[in-house]
Amino acid sequence: MDAARTIRDAVAAVSRLRQSAATEQGLHEALVEIKRLQSDRFSGTYTDLLRSPLYAPAARFFLEELYGDKDYAQRDEQFARIAGAIEKFFPAHVAQTAAALARLHAMTEDLDVQMGRLWLAQADASAPPAHRYALAWRELGRREEREDQLRSVLALGHELARLTRMPGLRTMLRMMRGPATAAGLGALQQFLENGFDTFAGMSKRAGAVEDFLRTVDTRERALFALLYERDLVASGTELARTLGQVP
């Protein structure tokens, strides 16, 4: 499937999910809470990397662009409105990176919406947020899709790192800033420039990108083990600790 079609399909899927969230009572609020918890969880899991001079830029990039509670509506709108132009304005590898980002966003939004519905269905709405999150995660299941989501995140990181090794690409991106903005692709342009600069800086130290992505892989799989395999009470308690909600 070409990049433009992948982008359009993914953005359309996200749009349908957002419409559901807007019409189902309480679902939007549940989604906001879930995304906030996930952002806080990432910050708690990677506190050391967020404080590291070497890894902080990459950790912040992942938090703000992939794991955060940021509203991506503007970027999605740009993707949908001018998906075909992405293949014309940007090199093929860059267009495929944009398609991978759109697919990842659709996958994440679907999981979040289903989590939101289970969050609302819980009998004890007064339970601590971390325990409610752990229960919704366990009830949703779909572990293979969680694994696919993680693989997609890591692949996107590797692809951004690979783009930094393409001769002249940074100069090309800088030259495209004006035309891309004029064409309505400013948010995508910013994502690509931030991603490029983040991984280019880390790539200056041999093995740093691989170490960063390996750390993300290890810690996210540890989260899977916690939420899928541990006792539910223990899962909620450990998650609350990561969130800074217990001593």
Per-residue pLDDT tens listing for the chain (247 residues): 587 788 778 878 888 888 888 888 889 899 989 999 999 999 999 999 999 999 999 898 888 877 766 666 666 666 666 566 666 666 777 778 778 888 888 899 899 999 999 999 987 888 899 999 999 999 999 999 999 999 999 998 888 888 777 766 666 666 666 666 666 666 767 777 777 778 788 888 888 999 999 999 999 999 999 999 999 999 999 999 998 876 5
User: Which tokens in the block code for residue 183?
Assistant: 């064409």
The single residue listed with the structure tokens 């004006």 is 178
Radius of gyration of the chain (CA): 19
Structural domain tally of the chain?
1
- Alpha carbons 121 and 24: distance in angstroms, whole number: 12
Encode pLDDT of 75-102 as tens digits: 666 666 656 666 666 677 777 877 888 8
Query: Within 10 A of 214 (CB to CB), how many other CB atoms are there?
Result: 12
152 located within any domain: yes
Distance separating alpha carbons of residues 133 and 240, to the nearest angstrom = 10
CA 206 to CA 210: how far, in whole Å?
A: 9
The number of residues making up the chain comes to 247
Q: What pLDDT is attached to residue 100?
A: 83
Q: Is residue 178 part of a domain?
A: yes
Residue 247 lies in a domain: no
- Separation between Cα atoms, residue 43 and residue 14, nearest integer Å: 25
How confident is the model over 190-221, as pLDDT tens digits? 777 777 778 788 888 888 999 999 999 999 99
Dmax (CA) for the chain in angstroms is: 57
Q: How many CB atoms lie within 10 A of CB 111?
A: 17
Where in the sequence is the domain holding 191, given as residue range(s)?
Answer: 3-242
pTM for the whole structure: 0.84
Closest of 13, 197, 211 to residue 112, by C-alpha: 13
> Is residue 59 domain-resident?
yes
Residues with Cβ within 8 Å of 122's Cβ and at least 6 positions away in sequence, in order, are: 132, 135, 136
Residue 8 is assigned to a structural domain of this protein: yes
